[in-house]
Amino acid sequence: MPPAKKRPRAYDLSRTRTAVLAQFGHVRSAVRALTAEQLALPGLGEWSVRELAAHITMAPERVSRSMELPEPAGGPRPGLTLLEWPFSTGGSADDIAAHTRALAADHPGLDALYAETAARFEELVPVTAAADRLVSTRAGTMRLGDFLVTRTVELVVHTDDLNRATGLGIPYDRQALAACTRLLADALADKAPGGAVEVRIPPFAVVQCIGGPRHTRGTPPNVVETDPLTWIRLATGRTGWAEALDAAQVSASGERADLGASLPLMG
């Protein structure tokens, strides 16, 4: 019998909205101070830092655009759940890349783009918005509350990309980092259900995964532990499992404590 899946974790819309705005504000402050030389540096893949910075505005803007549209028809059930989202993000990569380059070219003044994006988000995504309102996304119809959680992933992941590209120390909003870490940890447990391995990402998440003997008490025989940023890099393919082990960024004890076959979760 397959292991029973746990009830999805609950997220408060107001707190998630605040986290999205806070993380976006941290990035905006850093981008405002970037020099022309820094903006021309390699950013992510074939993108420059300027293009990466422009791309980051798409995370909250996608929510704003969705809220401008009528609620999708089809009843109260979303077409895409929160835990399905990480596995659905690869299909539109070409369209996203093209839009990113056009956005960077059309907005030489990035701070104005950031200011407009933040103002639209605050207006179109009010604190009083219903978490169960359905919105259209690139990947499918989602609950607004769930879609906002995915925005913390986009913002935290690309903040890390920007930090690594520029050497900046852009801070991470604690709530945004927590939501991002928890969603990706829960997605791992959903992808590889079981109780043989305990994955610890202090201080934000502990999940069990991988089929095999389930641990119930005492010290688990198979434990993986890492910090939130390393976990996020593993989950998104920024860092490989073997690479993280070699660099002592991950500790893995027990013969089943190997997540290499289950990672990355999204690319």
CA of residue 86 relative to chain centroid, distance: 8
**pLDDT value for 1:** 45
Return the closest-CA partner of residue 239 out of 255, 228, 254, 223.
228
Location of each CATH 3.30.1050.40 domain in the chain = 192-262
Q: What is the third-level CATH fold of 192-262?
A: Nonspecific Lipid-transfer Protein; Chain A (3.30.1050)
Decide if pLDDT at 120 tops 90: yes
H helix or E strand, kind and range, residue 102: helix 93-106
- Residue 245 corresponds to which amino acid? L
- Provide the whole-model pTM: 0.94
Location of each CATH 1.20.120.450 domain in the chain = 13-175
Class of domain 13-175: mainly alpha
Q: What is the pLDDT of residues 160-208, one digit of tens each?
A: 999 999 999 999 999 999 999 999 999 999 999 999 999 999 999 999 9
Q: What is the pLDDT of residues 152-166, one digit of tens each?
A: 999 999 999 999 999
Q: Which residues contact 38 (CB under 8 A, 6 or more apart)?
A: 49, 166
pLDDT range class, residue 84, cuts 50, 70, 90: very high
- Residue reference for tokens 């998630």: 16
Q: What is the pLDDT of residues 202-240, one digit of tens each?
A: 999 999 999 876 655 556 789 999 999 999 999 999 999
